[in-house]
Amino acid sequence: MDLFLPGISRQATPVVSRFMHRHNPKTFLIYTDGAYLNNGQSNPKAGWGCIFRPLTPTPTPTISGRLEHKGPFGDSHSQTSNRAELRAVLGALRFRHWKGEGCTTLVIATDSEYVVKGATEWVPGWLRKGWKTSAGGQVKNKDLWEALLGEMERWDTYGMKIQFWRIPREWNVDADVKAKEAAGRNDVEEWGDVLGVLC
C-alpha cells in the first residue's frame, strides 16, 4: 500500500510521524478495526483498535479499548462486532486534535463494509426516514451513528474533512490485533474517550 506513507508533520509541536498521502501531506490515514469474541456464547466481548502512525517501540502508535456496555449517551447496549467497528472510528476521531497537526482530510481505513457503506451511503436514507431502515425497522446502533455524525460535523467546523476507505482485511492486521487484545480486557461499563498527548 503505497498511497499513504510514513511522514513527518512539522506543524505539530513536537513534530509527529503519521501516515500521509503521498501527494498531499495534509491528508492523514488511521487504520481502525473492531473485534468480537465468544460469538454465540453467554459472555460475548468486543474491543476496538486504531493505528494512527507507523509502528515504532515508543511512544505507542496505537489506541485501543474494550467496548463499553454503555454508549455515548448513557444507554446500555449489547457487545457486537458492528458496535466495536463504529467505536474504533469514534476513538480515532476523538483521540487528538488532528487539525492542529496540519491535517485537512482524515481518512478512516477499515475493512468494515458496515462502517464504510453506513457512513457514505446509508446514513442519508436513514435520516430521511427518521432512523428507519429500507425495510421499516429501527436502525441498529443509532447512538453511535449519531455520535459519528456529530464528530464529522465538529471536524467540518474546524475545516477538516473525514473520509472512509474500505481496505482489504490483510491491510488491517495491526488494528485487528489491537482490537482483539482489547476485547480480552476486563469489562468497562461507562463510555470514556482516550485522549492522546505528545504522540
Q: How confident is the model at residue 43 (pLDDT cuts 50, 70, 90)?
A: confident
pLDDT band for position 14 (cuts 50, 70, 90): confident
CB neighbourhood size of 137 (10 A): 8
Q: Which three cell numbers stand for residue 96?
A: 487528538
Full set of structural domains in the chain with CATH: 4-183 (3.30.420.10)
The string of pLDDT tens digits covering residues 69-94 is 999 999 999 999 999 999 999 999 99
Average pLDDT (5-22) is 88
- Check residue 38 and give its pLDDT: 86
* DSSP state at residue 95: H
Instruction: Give me the pLDDT at residue 158, please.
Output: 96
144-156 pLDDT tens trace:
999 999 999 999 9
**Other CB atoms closer than 10 Å to residue 124's CB: what's the count?**
9
With vertex at residue 30, the alpha carbon angle to CA 85 and CA 182, rounded to the nearest 5 degrees, is 45
Prediction pTM value? 0.94
Kindly tell me if the per-residue pLDDT of 57 is higher than 70. no
What percent of the chain has pLDDT above 90?
79
**Distance from C-alpha of 148 to C-alpha of 75, rounded to nearest angstrom:** 16
Q: How far is CA 4 from CA 25, 38, 67, in A?
A: 9, 34, 28
Q: How far is CA 96 from CA 30, 99, 105, 157, 197, in A?
A: 12, 9, 14, 16, 7
Instruction: Give the least confident one: 134-138, 183-187, 194-198.
Output: 194-198
**How sure is the predictor about 59, in pLDDT bands with cuts at 50, 70 and 90?**
low
pLDDT at 117: 98
